[in-house]
Each structure stands twice: as C-alpha cells, then as structure tokens.
Chain A
Amino acid sequence: MKSLRRLGAVATLLAIPGASVRMSAQEGERPVFRVKVDMVVLAFNVTDNKGRYINGLKPSDFRILEDGIVQKIATFAEGNRPAVQVLEDGTTRPLIATTPESGGAGTASAAELRSDAFIGTNVFVLFDTSNYMYRGFVYASDAIADFIRGLDRADSVAVYTFSRNLNRASPLSRDRNDVITGLRSAVAGDDAALYNALLLTLRDASKVPGRKVVIVFSNGPDNASMVAPDDVRAVAEDEGIPIYVISTADATKDVTSSAVFRRISTRTGGKTYFAKTWQKQVEAFESIREDLGNSYTITYYPAQNPNEGFRKIAVEIVSDPGKKLRVRARPGYRPRAGF
C-alpha cells in the first residue's frame, strides 16, 4: 500500500504542543531536533471514499492551515519510515540519527529529540479490568496480546490496566515479551474509573516525544471517574493524541456510552469499534494496526496567531483539486498556557 492508487483521504491529526521539534544547524548538514513547547505534531491517515488507505503522498501534497493561516511543514514521515526534514524549497533530507548517549552532544538539552522519535508509534493500550469486564477478561487479554504481537517492529507499546485505579502494567517498550508479560499480570476486579484512567494515560503519553495513540479496551460503564469524558477528550485534542476505543458492549445497549465513545474518538482522530465477540475484537485491532501503519506524520511550528483559545486545524491535499479525497480531521487544539 505504498502508491497513490486510491482516492479519498482520512486524516488523523495530531497536534502536540507539548512535544515538538526545532531545528538547529549546529552540525552542518545534519540538523539536530529539540523539543520545544510551541511545536505541533500532526499524524493523520488518508483514505478514499471506500475507506482504503492512500499512501505515497509527499509533503508537497499537503497544506496545513491553522485558523486559516498556512503553516510551514518542518518534518514529514509516512507510516513507520524515518521522518525527513522539509526544506524551504520543499525538498527533503534525512534527520540526524542519534542515540540517547550521543544525541545533542554539547547542548546538554534534556529535551533532545532523536530522529527515530518519529519512527513508529507509541501505542498505549488501556485495558479495562474492572468488575464490568469480568466475563470477557481472558478473551480480551488474548486479543490484546495478538494485537501487540502484530504491531510494527518500530512501534513501542505500553499496557495500562484500570479499575478504580490505574495500573501501569507494562511501561512503553519495544520488547513485545515484556509487554505481554505485563498484560498477563493484570488482575481483575473493582469499580470502573475509565475516564480517570484515560486522563492519566494521556498525561503519560504526552510526555513521550513522537507519534502516539491510546487504545481503550472497555465495555463502557464508568462508576467512579471524577472527570467527565469531554474534559478528557479536550486533553487528548490539545496533546494531539488520537483515542481508539474497542467497546465490548453492544452499541445499542448503552447509547450514552456509545455516543461518548464515538465523540472522543472522532474528535481526537481515532475510531470506535463495537466488538462484542472475540473475533470482532481481533478485527478491530487489525483495523487499528492498519490505521497506524498507513499514517502520515507532519510537524510544524505554528505561525503567528493571536488566538490563545481553540485553534482550528485543517489538512488540505493540494494534489487533489477535485476534493475527492475524504479528510477526517480533528478540529484543532488549544495552545498550552505559557505559565
């Protein structure tokens, strides 16, 4: 799926004001990137009107607007391939490959960003282990394990579980065995505080540079959260983290929870799947995996914008003048207060 052979576009937009990139020409041809607070990272998918992914687009195919103001693209990446720097003339060049030890030598910047920060996706799986999930607990665990095994090698994955409290069962890692060991250590039981847990997961994810998503695996009910779904959704929007939801409940059984799931996923650039059976759950994970593997990631510094409130972001595909490509994008983000 590497050629532009389908029409339509699905854009998932990641705006991450807390983790962005600035270039420094200190090493001649090989720029070093540092995280600064005002940078934005966008990740999105492009599909045709039949929902098929569109690949092979180039930076010059995109125009990013924030409140109608055109943005200058800083870096570009497709799928899990390394990000490239986008130069003034629209050409690209590779980013420096650094290791944590050597990265940013001489600058001592804690926020130094390795070029491989944009290779792969940081996937946070949030697994509901409350009393509500008691019956399907083991099947869910199997489905998540399958999903983890099938992720791209470049992806990192963390497994968090929650009931009344969050449990970081396995921190972000590329070692699948470690992660599955963490997953298999989950303990079932107690109340469900889904949105509390989702908030804490987003807070953790926001500290990680690069592209990240949160996948919630739950059947919906929440009887213990202090925060409302829409407040959590706002955090995901602002941090630029798409939320995917796999609900093991029937969408028609609990219309309110279903509506909430749909809203938080759509508004953050993710998707919701209602997968009551184990087979459907596996399919949902497969779909998410495809979504992740067929995405684009763009970073940019927001141009001067007096709006300190919600900034609307639009992704335009300039190579699609007929607007046949479908763009599904998050509406935008609120810049972080400069405090």
Chain B
Amino acid sequence: MRLHSAALLILLAAVSGQGQQDANTRARELESKGDGWGARTLLQQAANHGEPGAARDYAEFLDRHKDPAAREAYRTAIAAADGRESRIALARRLVLLDLIAGDYDSASKDLERYREYGGAEFSGSVKVPPASEAGPVAVVQIPGPIRSFSRMAALSPDLMPKDVLTALARNVVTNGYQASSSNEALEQTEYLKLVVRYLSQARELEKLAGAGKTIRIEQCESAEAADILRVLGYRMRGACGGDVVLETVNATRAFLTIDSGFPLAELEQALRTNRPFVYDYRPTEVPVLFGPEYWLSSRDKQGGVFIDVFLSDPSVCRLYLGLSKLDRETAEVLRKQMPAQKIRVLSHVIDFFGGMFQIRNGKAIVPGGAPSAKGWSDLVGESPDSGGAFFEKLIARDDGWMASYFDALARVDGPLQAYLTEPERMKRFYSALRGRVTSPGPARPVFRSNTDLMLLTTRLRVDSQGRAVIPGSIDVWKNLFINHPHGKYDGKLTRLATSWKEPDDVVEALFALCRKAVDNEPLKIFMALSDMDRRRTTPMRPETVDRLAREYRTYGAQYSLLNELPTLSDRTINAFLDTAKEISQIGNNELRADTAGTMQALAGLWQIFCRQRAISPDAADEALFELLAPFGRMREEYELFAAGVSGIKVLLKATGSTGSESPQDRMIALLAGSPSPADTDSHRQVVQDMMRIFEAQRLVSITSLMDLSEHLDRIAQGERLNTALVNRIVSRVSEINLPRASLSTAERNAFAFGYWTEKHIDNQRKLNLRAVIEKAGTDAEKLREVRGELAGFLRDTLVGFNYMHYAPPGAQVLYTNPLFVRSHDFLGMQGSVQTWRQTEVLGTGWPSSAGGRLVGSLSGLPYALAEAEQNFLVPTREQALIWGDLVPQMILSSKIPRWWNVSPSQVHWLALHLQYAESLLAESALNAEMRNKVLAELDKQAVPARVSLVDRLLEEGRVREALDNVTPSEAYGLSIRMLRTDAASGPIAVEIREMAKADPEHINYRAVSRAFGTPKPTLANSYNPELLNLRTFPTLMGYSSRIMAESWESSMLYYAALADEMHLLPSQLNVLVPEWTQKTVEQIFATHLEDWPALLRSLRHVGDEFRARTRKQFAAEQKASLE
C-alpha cells in the first residue's frame, strides 16, 4: 500500500504558505476523495500552527477515523478551547474515548474535568474494574497445565477459563460417546479415551512434581529423570551428555506426551547439555457454573473427582452446556425451579432451544411481548408471569417442539414477529408444527433439526397490512400441493389444500412440513420464490411463479441467477426455462454438455456483469433474452460455436464495448470489475491474478477463436490459410495432456475423470487443427464443421472466465491442475442428470480420481470453488484445522463483492455507525437510562445471555470487555435502530445524519448493504451481496455451519471500518479483502461449529496487525516527507 506522500508534501507547503485558510474544508475534500492521510497531515499541521479551532478539527478528524492519537488531540483541543460549551463537548467525548480504550484511570480524571467544566449528562461514575471478575467463583482443578489439557480435549487455547468447561462439555456431548457395538449402552470414543488417559498421566506427573508443583530434573543421571521418563513413555539412548537421545519405549504413554505438548524437546536438550530441566506443573483451575457440588451426585461427593465425573456422564455435560447458554438470572431460576433429575432429562431441549429463554424479575419474556402473553399462557399451560414454571412446562412439553417454536419466534422481531405471535395464529401454526406424533423431537439428533422452521420464521415476508406475502397467488400453492408433478408432499395437506383461501392457510402448511425429517421441497420452493419476489420491482406473474414452482426440482438451482436482476421480465424467465429444457433434450451427450456449459457460462458472465453494474439494469433483461435465443434446438457443434460467439457479442454490446479493444481483453477487464478503473494498481493486480489462471488452464483466447472463425469464412472465399493464427491455437492445444499415459494399470482402473469429461479433453488433445483446415480446403460445408471443432474450446474459455472471476485467494487447484476447468462435468455420473443442479466438488482423495473436479451446473460455482480451495489454506495455530462449511462462505464473500464503484464517503458512513455503537455502549456505563435503551435494542440481535453479560460488564465498568462482546454486525444494527429513536444525539449521530442528507442517493442503507453485504445463496437464494442484519444462526442439521456463515455479516463490516480507519481507497479492498479473509481464516482456532467468537478474535487480530503495519509505514513516510 502506498501512502499519499507526494500529495502530503504539497499540502504541507499549502498550509504553511496560506496560513489561516480553511484547512478543515480542504481536509474534508481530501477525505471524501479517499486521501485521509493527506487530510490528517493537513489538519495536524494546522493544529501545530495554533490556528483557531484547528486543534478541535484535528481531534475530531482523528476521532472520526478511530486514530489512537485522538485522545491526546482532544486534550490539546480542550486546553485551546475558549467557550464553556465547546470545552464540555470536547471533554464529554474524551471521557467516552477513554472508556472505549479501556483507560479507566484517565476516564475517571477526565470525567471529573468534564464535571468541573459544567457537564452534567453523565450521572454515573467511572468504576475502575478489578483485575478479575467480581465476586467469589467456585473452581475445580484439572491436573496439569491448561495448554496440555486443551490440546488433548481439542479446546482452543484462546478460551477464557470460565469457558473451558462449557467447551469441554460440548466436545463430550458431540464427540465423546458412541453407540456400543455390543449393547445399548454408550461407550467412549477414542477422543474421550485419550482425554481420560491423559488425565491419568498428568496425575502421575503431578505426583512427581511434588508439593512445589514443579517438575524438576537437576541432572541427566538421576532417579527423577528415570521416573519422569518412565511416565512419559521414553528412555534415554546413549550416554548422558551430547549423545543422549530420547526414544519411545511405551508408545501409548509417548503418544500422550507428544499429543499433550509436553516440552519433550526441551527436556531432551536439558539432558544433552546436563542442565536442570524445570517445568511448572501446577494444576489448572477453571470456574464451575453453580459450583461443583451441583453437578455431583451424593455418591460422587464422597470421593469422586469433578473432572472425572464430568467426563463420565454425557447427560451432565449436556445440561452444563445448556445452562451455560442461559443468562445468569434465567439459569438460576430454572435450576431452582426444576429438580436435578428432571432438568437433566430435558437437558437436550435446554441445550438447543434454551438460549432465547429470558426471565426478568421472575417473569418470562415471551416473543410478541404482552399482546402474545395470553397466547403463550394457553399454549404452555402456565402464565409467563411465573417465569420458572412457564419454562419448566415449555421444555417438558412435546419432546421439544414447543421449545423450538419459542426459540424460532424469539429470534425474529418487528412486523414479522407480530404476525407470527398473534395469539390465534400462533396456536394454529404450533398445532401444525407439532402434529400428532411428537417423537422424535427436534432436539434429539446431534444437530438441531428445526432448520426449516428457523428458515421459515426468519425469511417469511409480511406486507404492510401485516399479512404473509405469498408469491404468485394462493392458487399457485394450492395447485402445487394438489397436482404436484412428482407426487404428493403430504396426504393430509393435499386434502386440506382444496379449501385454502387465505395466506395463513399456505403458511400453516409450511409449518406442518417443517416437522418432516426428509427434504422439505415445498418450503425450499416457497423460500426461493419469495426471495425472488422480495428483490423484484414488480412481482412475478402467477403463471410464472407456478411454472417456477413446478420445475423447481429440475431447475431450482438456477433461480439464484434469475434472482440477480430485480427487473428481469417474466418473458426472460420463461425463455431461460424453455432454453434449459431444450438443452436437456439434446440426445448427443457431448453436444448437450458443450451447449449447457456454453449457455451457463454466458449466463454466468451476464450475472457477474449485472452484479458489477457493467450492464445497466435497463439493458440487462434484453441482453439475457437475446443471449439465450440461439441456444434452443441445437443440433450441431458449429451451431453451438455460433451461439457462443453471438452470446459474447451480446454481452460486449450490453456492457457498452466500442469494439476498439479485443474481445478477450475487454472481457477480462469487465470480469476484473471495472473496465476503466481510477485505481490502476489494484485493477492491474486483479487482472494479473486472473490471467495467471487463464494461462495455467491453457485456455484459448476468445479473440483467437473468433478471429479463426472469421478467417475460416474467408478461406471459403479463397483467402490463404493464416498459419500464424492457427499455430497460436495449435500450440496452446498441444499443451493439454492427460496424465493417463504415465499411470499403472491399477491406477488406470481406479482413475475416474468421468467418461464424457475425458472424451471432451481427449477430443481437444487429439485435434490436428491445421490438418483439418487444410483437408477442408475451400469447401464451405467442411469449414463449417471445422468451426464446430472449436466449440469445445469456446465452452472451456467461457467456463474458465467464470472460474477466474470467482477464483479463491491462493487458487492452488486452478494453478496446479491444468485440466480443472476442462474437467467440469456438466452431465454428472451415470444415472444422475446434474446439468442444472448445484455445483458440487467430487473426486477428492487419491487414488479414486485424477484430482477433484466440479460437477453440475455453474450456479453454485463460487461456493464450490471455495470449498475445493479451503484445505489449501494453512492454519497458523498449532492443532487448528480449517473450518469446513464456514470457510467457503467466507471466501466467496470476499470474492463476489467488488468495490470499484464504492466511494470513500460510503465507507466512512458505515464506519461511523460502528463507532456510534461503541460510543453508545461507553455512554451506557455512565448513564443507566441510556443503558436500558441500548440494551433493549441490542437484544434484538444478540442472544439474551450475551446482552446480560454486556449489561453486567457495563455495570462493573468494564467497557472495553463489553465492547469486545458485541459483534460488528450487532453494533451496526444497534446504531441503525438507535438512530431511528430520539435518543440518538452527539457528534457522530449528527455526522451520520448530515452525510446521508447531503448525498441521499449514495449515502443510504441500501447502498451500504450492496457494498458491504455478503452473498447468501442459501438464506436468500441469491449471490447478490446484501446486509440482512440477522441474528447469527446456530449450527443447523443439514447445513452444518453454512447458514451460520451466511448470517455472519461482521467480517465485511469490520473490513470496511478498518479501511476507513486506515484511509484506504475502497478500490484497494478488491485486493485486500481476499488477503485479509485468508489471514483471518488461517488464524481461527475454533473449538466447535458455533464458535464464532473464535472467528471474531481472528478478525480483530488480522485488523490489529494491519493497523500496526500501516501506522508504522505512515509515520515513516511522514518523517521522510518532513525531512
């Protein structure tokens, strides 16, 4: 990154030369152009010159960009301020910044000064928090150091002591036990056996460590050395001194030694050098929820060791896990309310669905609030006024269905929650969900099985009249249930459908289907079509919706493409389906694969160009329609080639290409994101990365192919063969080699490229283009067939363009396997037609394949590429692994959005929102009234336990810790909601409102959502980036962490704020965000599949590193400029 030192020098000269000119105005101009460093220097210089108001301007500028120098600048500004009001305002801000920085001593002093100046807004006082948490905490001991135990128990070393048992409980529940092969009992898995063995070894070492809790070996030839080595499973080979080497003598013990991270190498080195070996072997103390007594039975209390008891009983672990998800008050009430045996039996329900329970002042907080209280009371059979009894009955009822219903409704808010919690409707939908047979309940499996329910309640749309929005019409859904082309979904619902009249009838049926363990197709159809309609300017016609619903099973994966453009006409949607159908009917497998590949690749390019605004929304519909037209009724490869070329021309025309550039260059520039970027450095890098892939895949330039095609026409008219042109393609084709030749017979038999894929590659490899052209002579018919030979190349290049655009950071597969693009299988394995299905990764692991490849359509290409690439990322933390299902989504979120057209002001506006949330939380520590308002808003996005934690931390004065417990996405949501209220005031709120007012077209939530949102192919059926400000989802059955990852919007918000803080041009994010994402992924050390705090830690770590480096660089450049 290059800072703006040249501009900086000019500005310095201007400041010193022009004296009192309005530096602030000029700084604002620079800021809006993205030259924040220049603005900073200008204001700093003005402040140094002592110009009136300059100190304040400088301080406020630093504050706006979260510069650590802001607090010092505020102090200077306060000293220079001449008015009382001004001094109060500055001092007020300084107090908040002190709290945000965690500098409580300064905050205390500055608060005093603020009051001395006459400030009266903050009624509270700054509490300097003690080093550890307040209050006595019951702890238990675990033998040996925490690092070793964490390694053995697969816990993140970053866990706070208070979280260790919770994380351990989760691992025991999910990985600790398995069904026994011989009887019905559960038996320990290898994971848990190793933990137990480790504890045994640790106890032996503890004994050797003695009262001093230190393992000490004074010299090599000693009894202690022999004893310790015996426990470790090693012995010495060679005489003491330089020759001594430790080698395994007891493999079981040695394994524990190594796996637990005992410092064996240090011990060996000490023995070799005959120096003392000293190792602190104090046991680890970890806090226990409710104290150890609660978890031990009367028999255990008489000699059982807590950790052993804990590990030996998965139901204890499940309950511990469940109760630790509740806020303190709620957990305490439930514990007292329910007998130990009963609560343990229901621990699975509490674990999955207790997280949204809240008891305040003895009353249950229910979704829908007071208007729904009666409804809940009727459903549960207990009034919410008796919080403990209410939740006891709720979880004890129907094997968890009601609890899951409560959980799902508690996660939404606003009009949707009001709709769902209307008492009569609530009862009706619950009844449908519950059904007659309640077992097995949704909390029985290892993952929550109420995925569909959560998706439905989160994504259902409600209109301004408070009615559910049904895509198309009710008749469409009636028809679907009654006359479904693939058979009945549900006999009862089919009968009921005949009488459907209201939207609620359809929604009730969807609730009823949510309880089904099998694939819930109607819900998927409903959500897909609802999402399509949600984004559209005008709803789709009922007949289009009807067709989309009926053809979902075949073409549903393509709907995200049709969802790209809000103005896509019904005509084009139908044309797409018609074309897809006609392609599916092509009898010749090779031609069908080539046609589907070419058509999908062109449509994929159209999608990319629409998303990047390279095709204007006005022209987009016509462009897709025109592009699709030639693909119907394809009979010959030469027709396909012509259709492909026609599609390229349509795209180039729609993107406003003038024809002066070669089609290849123009296409690459468009794919990079902007054909004429202001930031050429970043653009060049993006283009270069794409070209490396183009070269690695030995793709043939579309310009060469189009030129050759035209040349063939001219040959037919008598022109001589252009050998240079032909050779260009021939030489590229000659580089395509199949690895088969070098394989042994056994390998060849195991080799599974896929018959048609291999044939596709083989055809190209064997093609002697020059000979074919020469043989054709000037025969137009034969030359046309030659053009058909080029169709496969054109398909590969167009498919390759899609791959290049979505290539993940690193792109090892694309650089290493030169046939990766060509091996895309558009047909699928024998017996399964995958031409229009989601892209899948197949063939991982040798020797079952020739390397992994992608199968299916291109619709899920971004995710599939990221999935293929994720395991090439290298975790930087010992023992960490790449987090499958979460990481692909993170990767594609970094690759799909592009920031060429985002303005610095938009970035700054977003960053101000995050800053505003910080200020609100800081202020809450000093203002109880504000705290209530802020926490009430935070509660709409964060789970109750965390809101309660933040509340407690603020109460205790731990502002910094409280801030660390709020995600960027929650902070953003909090700001938005608070800005809608009268409570929003202060300089940041004013700045946010003024910026929006000054440029409403660009500075608005929609624009920011598009710029810094994430694609949500599962949650929103679209790859279009957007911010939905949702609660972070838990891990869900059937999706693992994928939906959680899609609901995680914090990374992009964090990066945007980081960019603003470091005065980056938004266009630089095109290069930096993929890099940051890769680093973030590699830094994560998560303990389980919902461990988003680990992700947040990693994100902040990467940001801190970048900040430190950039500031250092700026300081060095500033110094050099001044010199």
Contacts and interface: CB of A to CB of B under 8 A. Distances in A.
B692 interface: yes
Given A142-B248, A194-B846, A168 B851 contact: no
Contact of B817 (A190, A200, A228, A308): A228
B255 A226 contact: no
B265 A181 contact: yes
Given A149-B245, A200-B872, A259-B744, A184 B882 contact: no
Contacts, number: 148
Q: Most chain-B CB neighbours within 10 Å: which of A145, A165, A200, A222?
A: A165
Contacts of B261: 185, 187
Contacts of A188: 255, 258-259
A149 to B, nearest CB: 7
B852 interface: yes
A225 B845 contact: yes
A177 interface: yes
A199 interface: yes
A163 B881 contact: yes
Nearest to A186: B258
Could you tell me the dominant secondary structure of chain A's interface residues? helix
Q: Which of A167, A168, A190, A256 has the most CB of B within 10 A?
A: A256
B509 to A, nearest CB: 42
A164 B872 contact: no
A225 B868 CA distance: 9
A174 to B, nearest CB: 16
Chain A: interface residue count, which band?
Answer: 35 or more
B878 A167 contact: yes
B872 A226 contact: yes
B817 A227 contact: yes
A339 B874 contact: no
Interface in A73-123: none
Interface in A131-177: 135, 137-139, 141-142, 145-146, 149, 163-169, 177
B251 A225 contact: no
A263 interface: yes
B258 A141 contact: yes
B871 A177 contact: no
Contacts of B499: none
Contact of A139 (B251, B746, B847): B251
A139 B247 CA distance: 8
A42 interface: no
B873 A165 contact: yes
A231 B816 contact: yes
Which among A163, A166, A184, A229 has the highest number of chain B CB atoms within 10 Å?
A184
A190 B190 CA distance: 12
Contacts of B852: 225-227
Nearest to A226: B852
Contacts of B248: 138-139, 141-142
A228 B872 contact: no
A230 B849 CA distance: 11
Contact of A227 (B246, B735, B816): B816
A230 B742 contact: yes
Among A186, A193, A227, A337, find the residue whose CB has the most chain B CB atoms closer than 10 A: A227
B151 interface: yes
Interface string B802-843: 000000000011001110000000000000000000000100
Contact of B735 (A164, A196, A309): A309
B875 A226 contact: no
B982 to A, nearest CB: 52
Contacts of A65: none
Contacts of B868: 226
A146 to B, nearest CB: 7
B151 A187 contact: yes
B746 A255 contact: yes
A48 B750 CA distance: 38
A195 B881 contact: no
Contact of B846 (A184, A187, A195, A235): A195
Interface string A257-298: 101100100000000000000000000000000000000000
B245 A145 contact: yes
A228 B852 CA distance: 8
A138 B255 CA distance: 6
Contacts of B872: 196, 199-200, 226
Contact of A200 (B750, B841, B874, B879): B874
A301 B961 CA distance: 60
A256 B847 contact: yes
A223 interface: yes
A256 B265 contact: no
A165 B873 CA distance: 7
A309 to B, nearest CB: 6
A37 interface: no
A234 to B, nearest CB: 8
B734 interface: yes
Contacts of B269: 177
B746 A225 contact: no
B176 to A, nearest CB: 15
A224 interface: yes
A47 B209 CA distance: 54
B695 to A, nearest CB: 5
Interface in B263-285: 263-266, 268-269
Interface string A206-241: 000000000000000011111111111001000000
A146 B869 CA distance: 35
B846 A339 contact: no
Contact of A167 (B734, B869, B875): B875
Given A222-B845, A259-B746, A164 B881 contact: yes
B254 interface: yes
A196 B844 CA distance: 10
Contact of B844 (A169, A184, A187, A226): A226
Interface in A236-256: 255-256
Contacts of B247: 142
Interface string B524-538: 000000000000000
B120 interface: no
A180 B268 contact: yes
A225 B874 contact: no
A280 to B, nearest CB: 15
Interface in B875-910: 875-876, 878-879, 881-882
Contact of B739 (A183, A185, A231, A256): A231
Interface in B716-764: 731, 734-735, 739, 742-744, 746-747, 750
A230 B739 contact: yes
Contacts of A181: 263, 265-266
B167 interface: no
Nearest to B875: A165
A194 B744 CA distance: 20
Contacts of B735: 309
B947 interface: no
Contacts of B255: 137-138, 188
Contacts of B750: 256
B593 interface: no
A264 to B, nearest CB: 10
Nearest to A334: B735
Nearest to B818: A231
B128 interface: no
A226 B851 CA distance: 5
A265 to B, nearest CB: 14
5 contacts: A199-B812, A222-B845, A224-B844, A259-B747, A337-B695
* 5 closest cross-chain pairs (CB), A and B: A228-B851, A226-B852, A181-B265, A223-B845, A138-B254
Interface of A: 135, 137-139, 141-142, 145-146, 149, 163-169, 177, 180-181, 183-188, 190, 193-196, 199-200, 203, 222-232, 235, 255-257, 259-260, 263, 308-309, 337, 339
Given A163-B881, A193-B845, A256-B747, 18 more contacts: A138-B233, A138-B258, A168-B874, A177-B265, A181-B265, A185-B878, A186-B258, A187-B151, A196-B812, A200-B872, A224-B871, A225-B844, A226-B841, A227-B816, A227-B852, A228-B846, A231-B739, A260-B846
